[in-house]
Amino acid sequence: MAQEIEPGLFLGNLTTATNIDWLKKNGITHILTVDSCPLPRKIQEHLPHLITKYIQATDIPREDLLTHFEDSYEFIDRAIESHGRVLVHCYFGVSRSATLVIAYIMKKRELSYADAFQVVKSKRCFVGPNPGFVAQLQLYMDMGWGVDSTNVQFKMYRLQIAADKVRKARILPQNCVDLVKSDPALTTVRPEPTVYRCKKCRRIVASVSNILPHLPGERQIWRHISAKKDFESCDKLLQKRETQVAFCDKIYFVEPLAWMPDITHAVEGKLNCPKCNTKLGSFSWIAGIQCPCGSKIAPAFYLVPSKLDWSNVVQNVQVTRVQERSYSTC
């Protein structure tokens, strides 16, 4: 059946969610379904005031639940705050629904994954999120129990989810186009001072925040990193030369950018400078790229360092101003 994890919050399976007598007896006012199929219509026919939410998801490690943590939290929290009683369920009540309940407990109590897992397990002893969901929960904790779109690991995570969809559809689905970041050369509002330019024509092709750093020999596109080893931001991470971790600089892996025209409708190809057409690198949604350091990154969008120049606009402006002042005093 179902167990009450904390007052007003129940975790159960499909059998419980379709048991009209149990729902009435326990005063369930909200149901959150995370399954491959929504609840049968007859449930709401018998309980017309029932409020439901449906998340379509299968119980596989590469399924994306992380992007649903925030709206699931809001659904559960609103139900409890309004003195309702909410049932969260999947087919067995073991992995998918348990993941959403653990995420809720983590955020509500500001707990680590391990501590929140024990809270839920103490009430429903056989819960067990699959390894992919566990990694998502740990990343959620590292982002401060929220979604930080600037977090490098979150960027890599979303790229991996998009790559799975490209593998099936052979094109980038419309709901993933936000992964393609704006052209840094055309940015006029708060442009980043640190950029990478085509060595031949000086056209800006990437900002420092577009870089996705990797460690030598790394074998996977995204992984959980302890908060103690993480860094404040990609900008500081790349400009900080004396750091405990030596990031590879043999190849620059970057986010998909708007000047890369083929990336939305091809699974792999070349990346040429949009101004002078010089080949700067390549991309591969599915096979990925092998870096000379031994890292295998997939999906991958990479630029060759020898084809680029690193440029700090702020420094350039300061140098120019100093020169102008020195000329004026001559």
Catalytically active residues are 90
DSSP state of 180: S
Distance separating alpha carbons of residues 209 and 142, to the nearest angstrom: 19
Distance separating alpha carbons of residues 318 and 235, to the nearest angstrom: 20
Distance separating alpha carbons of residues 28 and 183, to the nearest angstrom: 49
User: In this structure, are residues 68 and 103 in contact, taking their beta carbons and an 8 Å threshold?
Assistant: no
In sequence order, what are the residues at sequence separation of 6 or more whose Cβ sits closer than 8 angstroms to the Cβ of residue 111? 105, 119
Distance separating alpha carbons of residues 156 and 302, to the nearest angstrom: 13
**Among 160, 20, 39, residue whose Cα is nearest residue 89:** 39
Main-chain dihedrals φ then ψ at residue 53, nearest 5 degrees: -140, 140
CA angle in degrees (0–180, nearest 5) for 18-132-146: 85
| 3-class secondary-structure state, position 318 | helix
Distance separating alpha carbons of residues 306 and 320, to the nearest angstrom: 26
| 3-class secondary-structure state, position 211 | strand
User: In this structure, are residues 156 and 221 in contact, taking their beta carbons and an 8 Å threshold?
Assistant: yes
Sign of CA dihedral 215, 216, 220, 223: negative
The three-state DSSP-derived secondary structure of 247-265 is CCCCCEEECCECCCCCCCC
